[in-house]
Amino acid sequence: MKRSWPSLLLALPLALVPACKDQHPPPAHAAARTVADSSNARAIMAPAGKDWTLPGGDYAMSRFSSLDEITTGNVGRLKVTSTFSTGVLHGHEGNPLVVNNMMYVVTPYPNILYAIDLTKPGGAVKWVYQPNPSDKSVGIACCDVVNRGATYANGRIYFNTLDAHTVAVDANSGKEIWKVAVGNIDIGETVTMAPIVVHNKVIVGNSGAELGVRGWIKALDAGNGKELWRAYSTGPDRDVLIGPAFKPFYQDQRGADLGTKTWSGEQWKLGGGTVWGWISYDPQLNLIYYGTANPGVWNPDMRPGDNKWSLTIFARDPDNGDARWAYQMTPHDAWDYDGVNENILADIQVDGRERKVLVHPDRNGFVYTLDRETGEVITAGKFVFTNWADSINRKTGRPAENPAFRTKAGVVTRGICPSATGGKDEPPSAFSPQTGWFYIPNTNDCMDYQGTEANYIAGTPYVGASVKMYAGPGGHRGGFNAWDAATGKAVWHIDENFPVWSGVLATAGGVVFYGTMDGWFKAVAAKDGHELWKFKVGSGIVGNPITYTGPDGKQYVAVYSGIGGWMGAVAFPDVSTDDPYTALGVAGAIPDIKQASAMGGTLYVFAL
């Protein structure tokens, strides 16, 4: 029998349903350095401009646009110019693309692709492509039936479907060029991430760690969809594509077959480490960067050891998949701190010299500034209230854990911060080369966590923890930071009532955009976080804003409205908030979201 994601979770026995600071950020609008003084960083490539062709705007995942018609002085005059209903009422993560006066929208399941002609008044649908994914994928998707968007290359739109297929569609006609299966829904594999295309290779990864799936990333031939290479996240070096070129910075990342030796028995075969987040690319170094998810199972006592290479940032050669370095952020994860969040590439001044860095705000509450050539930790600071670890040791790369907050089987560990949803989940941050700062959406939740027994049955939930989440210190459940990656400290901070589960857009007009789960689309000043404008949309925002130049030469800003995803699914009518353990634990954190937002599925477009 087909079951939706929320009903599948509700059917689990209570013991199997998990919740799936030492340093406070500065107060809202804390005094900031001047923009001129803080511009110690630069983009590594040209930012997005007239069009938005990649998930992050550019390969560096900067989510920065060079467009500057909309400024801090006039953004308050933004008005809705058009809307478009997708016809789907689930989590609208990701963002549209804009290419040559055409907008491309991918919906959550059933993953319909719309082409909208922007030269027509209000936009008009030019064509519709329906991939018709299997409805079996709905019953196994962990955390709503989301899709994080598409990418454009070679005159084609490439995107993934929930039932683990990758599709290439002609951008002009909507004709399917190829469609290939990349995973197996019968064992719990789905695909929700946005692909990118590098050197005529479509890079994709899988979801399903909560079903005992073994994570992988692979490259497909952009011309015909043929698999060219695949790198697993766990297993022997030959499967992980670790060879002579692999030179990690830290000692505990070195050694043969760590993808098996740091696991108990053959648990690595059910090891999670899926790749459902974002992929960045540095053309100068010819390396792609991505993070891997939680290990399977959530009960840490069932998998002694570091459990490599879960919760790891990898640098790989896109041509053959060979790993160049890896850095594991949370060894032997006991909190579900997936490492799939964005890796933003920039060149910044640190201690008087320019460094090629990768900036990664992690679920575990730390923002990591890594040398993207070597994987060395340059800085690592807390961006939300975090108590499971005190700091990150730069010499070893390992966290200095607080043993009071390590979880165990059969024991309820209380007051762990952040919760399993992390200091932030996948919604991507933005970087402005004008300020040199990174703009990070926050979640301020804590949790109680107990490891439980779990038995593996292919294609069914394989979790092994019971988790309850609730608001963190201060009572607000979200926030928004400007972050200085050179110092590892927040510059300014905004509190929000609900977790900020949208992505971020920074622009050359000095404006930063983000959305809230109760449906406010906001513009703030990049310099000091001062609120400049806001607009109430029809449903909570869990998507990522973009900006582009329309055929009339004006600058437009677009964002999806449609609550959902892991946290946002609490707003669905069939998800009860009577039990705080419901919906992988998030029901305890935001039970009031039902009164603040209903389901939706609308694209909003704004202009002056």
Provide the annotated active-site residues. Answer: 210, 294, 336
Buried b (16+ CB within 10 A) or exposed e, 76-96: eebeebbebebebbbbbbbbb
DSSP β-ladder status, 165-170 and 156-161? antiparallel
Task: Identify the CA nearest to 382 among candidates 526, 479, 300.
Answer: 479
**Do the Cβ atoms of 370 and 361 come closer than 8 Å?**
no
Rounded distance, CA 438 to CA 457, Å?
42
Torsions phi, psi of 494, nearest 5? -120, 135
Number of C-alpha atoms within 13 angstroms, CB side, residue 455?
Answer: 3
Rounded-to-10 torsion of CA 299, 323, 394, 273: -20
- Burial class from Cβ neighbours inside 10 Å (0-12, 13-18, 19+) for residue 212 reads buried
Helices (DSSP H) in 59-208: which residue ranges? 136-140
SS3 string, 423-470, reads CCCCCCCEEECCCCEEEEEEECEEEEEEECCCCCCCCCCCCCEEEEEE
Structure tokens, 170: 């002609």
203: helix, strand or coil: strand
C-alpha of 155 from chain center: 26
Interatomic CA distance for residues 454 and 209, integer angstroms: 13
Q: What is the CA radius of gyration of the chain?
A: 22
Task: Measure the CA angle with vertex 488, ends 26 and 361; round to 5°.
Answer: 90
Q: Which two tokens stand for residue 442?
A: 């926050």
Residue 536's Cβ-side half-sphere holds a number of Cα atoms within 13 Å equal to: 4
> 10 Å Cβ neighbour count for 154?
13
The alpha carbon of residue 557 and the mean position of all alpha carbons in its chain are separated, in whole angstroms, by 21
Neighbours of 411 (CB within 10 A): 12
Query: What phi and psi values does residue 161 have, to the nearest 5 degrees?
Result: -115, 155
Buried b (16+ CB within 10 A) or exposed e, 216-255: bbbbbebeebeebbebbbbbebebbbbeeebebbbeebee
